[in-house]
Structure 1
Amino acid sequence: MLITRLPVADTNKAVLDKDSALLLVSHTLAGQAKLVGCYWQTVALEDIYSEDNKLRALMRHYQCVPADVHIVPIDALTTDVPEATLLSTAVAELQAYFTDKRASFTVLMDDSFGTPFQRRVWQALSKIGYGETQSYAQIAAKIGNPKAYRAVAQANGKNPFSIIVPCHRVINSGGQLGGYTGGLDKKRYLLQLEGQRI
Structure 2
Amino acid sequence: MQLSLLAFAATSFALPSSSSTNSRLTETNSPDRWAHYDLTRPFNSTALNETGPLEKRRQIGVCEAIVTASSCVVLINTAGNGWLVDFVNNVGNLMYDRAHSDFACNVETGAYRELQFKFQAYGGDCSTTAQRDTIKGGIENHLKTVDGGKICATECLKLDHGGSCAGYLLVGPVKSFDSTKYCGPDLDFSGCSSGGQAAFG
Scaled by the length of structure 2, the TM-score of the pair is: 0.25
Higher helix proportion: 1
Q: Which has the larger radius of gyration?
A: 1
Scaled by the length of structure 1, the TM-score of the pair is: 0.25
Higher strand proportion: 2
